[in-house]
């Protein structure tokens, strides 16, 4: 489809699924190299940020080969098409992460407020290592000090939907990524 309408807005095709899949393959390859030393006794923790990163996390799970445990949390700062600037915890970080290697899986990083809040909480939980793995990043607006260790794709500062990203909860199930059609 060249265009989709969600609620009151129309979006046009921006990134076809084949490009997304290729980018995920590259990220998974890097993760497999970096976490090859994980064992069943010391697995990595794949921390999926709900709801947007579910599809990206599922695709990573198909591709990674090292021992891991899947956990989830939900921190949010978006309402409609813009960030509120306030990070709300809807599903808290899992307990018992002390000494663990955590890979935060995000759908998109733009302002970085959620990533900063999450990494701060992980430090408080005394994780051994926390790395950020994101499907998308808006580099022109991301200005935080938290390093983004694994980035599948960079996108401009535009509102996008699909492949887990939503507009007021619709559009997550679209396999391609669409941009707001001005």
110 part of the active site: yes
Query: Which of 110, 145, 149, 168 is flagged as catalytic?
Result: 110
Tell me, letter by letter, the H, E, C secondary structure of the chain.
CCEEEECCEEEEEEECHHHHHHHHHHHHHHHHHHCCCCCCCCCEEEEEECCCCHHHHHHHHHHCCCCEEEEEEEEEEEECCEEEEEEEEEECCCCCCCCCEEEEEEEEECCCHHHHHHHHHHHHCCCCEEEEEEEEECCCCCCCCCCCCEEEEECCCCCEEECCECECCECCCCCCEEEECC
Catalytic residue numbers, as ranges: 110
């Amino acid at each position: 489809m060249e265009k989709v309408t969600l609620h009151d807005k129309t979006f046009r095709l921006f990134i076809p699924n084949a490009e997304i899949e290729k980018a995920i393959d590259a990220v998974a390859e890097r993760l497999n190299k970096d976490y090859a030393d994980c064992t069943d006794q010391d697995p990595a923790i794949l921390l999926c940020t709900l709801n947007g990163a579910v599809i990206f996390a599922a695709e990573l799970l198909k591709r990674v080969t090292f021992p891991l445990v899947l956990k989830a949390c939900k921190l949010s700062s978006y309402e409609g098409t813009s960030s509120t600037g306030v990070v709300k915890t809807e599903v808290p970080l899992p307990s018992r992460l002390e000494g663990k290697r955590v890979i935060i899986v995000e759908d998109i990083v733009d302002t970085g407020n959620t990533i900063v809040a999450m990494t701060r909480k992980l430090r408080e939980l005394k994780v051994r290592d926390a790395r950020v793995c994101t499907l998308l990043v808006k580099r022109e607006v991301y200005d935080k000090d938290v390093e983004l260790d694994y980035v599948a794709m960079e996108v401009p500062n535009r509102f996008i939907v699909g492949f887990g990203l939503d507009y007021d909860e619709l559009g997550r199930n679209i396999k391609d990524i669409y941009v707001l059609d001005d």
